[in-house]
Amino acid sequence: MFRSVWLILTIFSTIYISYSKTLTVCKEKCQYSSIKEAISFAENGDTLVIKKGIYKEGNIIVYKSIKILGEGFPVLDGEKKYEIMTVKADNVEIKGLVFQNSGKSYIEDIAALKMESVKNCIVENNKFFNNFWSIYLAKSKECIIRNNYIKGPAVKRKLAEKGVTETAFGNGIHLWHCRFITIENNYISNHRDGIYFEFVKDSVIIGNESENNIRYGLHFMFSHRDVYINNTFRYNGAGVAVMYTKHVYMERNRFEYNWGPATFGLLLKDITDSYIYHNIFYKNTTGMFSDNTVRTVIEENDFIENGWAIRIFSNSTDNLITHNNFIENTFNVVTNSFHNPNRYTENYWSDYKGIDLNKDGIGDIPYRPVSLFGYFTENYPQSIILTRSFFIYLLDLVEKIFPMLIPETLVDNKPLMREFRW
């Protein structure tokens, strides 16, 4: 029985392969000089090979399950007027193309490449320059966006000079109401958000580099059970925002050089039951900002040379902060509460001055990560001008001896004597 089924499937696949064909598009001496014309003659399973050149064809609509392959990186130019390509079929592969100069609209979400209500599509090894939205997926699933180079039109310094707002720019990779999507090894810069997820579930963001974006390197909204691993977020308006979300797994990402008056490496806003593991927060204004974060584990991360390592509001509860390294931050932890509804244990604090008489690697004296000055700056921001003054040193010393203002229960009872190696 199994052999008969295998034979039937083999015959049908052979017939399918034998009937699929390759259509070539180029500017001269080819089957087709137009991509739209080639698509009209193609059938499901065919391959379009587009030769090197510049193609200005308005919006190219792909309504058949075909492969579109570029040879020598042909350029599809939207002339700053059109959406460049819209995919409306399943099982489409797009590789080796350059998308540039898409149109721009505040009414429609015009993109260089838009994919609507599709599944099992692949966008790989393409280049995107000077587009409003670069890649836009809506109501799609089981797609892969991999190894693309995406650079938008925005330069933050020039924006500041011209007074242009972030709403004048779209996102690099934008997903809306999607599921089972893989975003892998892409470079994204100079957009509003590098990567944007809204109502996206069960998806993976892995190995991407998102930098110099106006707002966020990565932005989550109402997106559950997603994973992001081994990504780098640097020099963005803010690194990553995870908002109104549950069951998010964040591992081995780098949040670095995200500087500004209201800037952070990672913003957690209304998230629950998540895991933050093996990440590096380096030289951010605020490493991690937590607002209404509940039942989340923050474990084995490095917070190095940030302004504030962790700013955590009193509505963040039942979280575990353990085995992290806090190294040379201006403030390790600040909060706006006299109480501590979270657990801090076995972290390394570079400014810890305790001793370890029994040589078990754990300090004999508990460590209080919230300083009096940190409390003041959180509640009275203007006091930051007193940073590192002798007066503040005396206040902190008195507060450690006779704690009155800082949360008495916010304490690491088992501070590590050496950095935790992970």
User: What pLDDT does 391 receive?
Assistant: 47
Inter-residue contact 27 to 53 (CB < 8 Å): yes
Q: Is a pLDDT exceeding 80 seen at residue 395?
A: no
Q: Is a pLDDT exceeding 50 seen at residue 402?
A: no
CA distance 240 to 186: 16
- The arithmetic mean of pLDDT across residues 18-26, rounded, is 85
- The arithmetic mean of pLDDT across residues 168-194, rounded, is 95
User: What pLDDT does 397 receive?
Assistant: 54
Highest mean pLDDT among 250-264, 279-293, 361-375: 279-293
Interval 348-375: pLDDT, tens: 999 998 999 999 999 999 998 886 555 5
Residue 298 belongs to domain spanning: 105-401
Residue 82 lies in a domain: no
CA distance 276 to 387: 30
- The arithmetic mean of pLDDT across residues 60-70, rounded, is 98
Confidence of residue 381 (pLDDT cuts 50, 70, 90): low
Helix runs in 248-355, H state only:
none
Highest mean pLDDT among 31-35, 237-241, 320-324: 320-324
Report how many domains make up the chain.
Answer: 1
Locate 113 and state its tokens.
Answer: 């490449």
Work out the number of other CB atoms within 10 angstroms of the CB of residue 107. 5
User: What pLDDT does 407 receive?
Assistant: 63
- The arithmetic mean of pLDDT across residues 180-206, rounded, is 97
Which of 248, 228, 150 lies closest to 190, judged by CA? Answer: 150
User: What pLDDT does 7 receive?
Assistant: 47
Residue 84 lies in a domain: no
Percentage of the chain lying above the pLDDT 90 cut: 73
CA distance 410 to 282: 24
Residue 301 lies in a domain: yes
Confidence of residue 150 (pLDDT cuts 50, 70, 90): very high
Longest dimension (CA), the chain: 87
Task: Answer with the residue of higher pLDDT: 337 or 16.
Answer: 337
- The arithmetic mean of pLDDT across residues 183-191, rounded, is 97
User: What pLDDT does 57 receive?
Assistant: 96
User: What pLDDT does 14 receive?
Assistant: 45
- The arithmetic mean of pLDDT across residues 69-82, rounded, is 96
Residue 55 lies in a domain: no
Locate 213 and state its tokens.
Answer: 């974006």
Q: What is the dihedral of CA 88, 91, 97, 98, to 10 degrees?
A: 40
> What is the identity of the amino acid at 285?
T
Which of 365, 369, 372 lies closest to 322, judged by CA? Answer: 369
Inter-residue contact 257 to 277 (CB < 8 Å): no
Predicted TM-score of the model (pTM): 0.86
User: What pLDDT does 378 receive?
Assistant: 53
Please give the sequence-ordered ranges of beta strands (E in DSSP) within 64-110, or none if there are none: 67-70, 75-77, 85-87, 93-95, 98-100
User: What pLDDT does 11 receive?
Assistant: 45
Residue 48 lies in a domain: no
Residue 207 lies in a domain: yes
Mean pLDDT score of the chain, rounded to an integer?
Answer: 87
Residue 52 lies in a domain: no
Residue 72 lies in a domain: no
User: What pLDDT does 151 receive?
Assistant: 97
Confidence of residue 327 (pLDDT cuts 50, 70, 90): very high
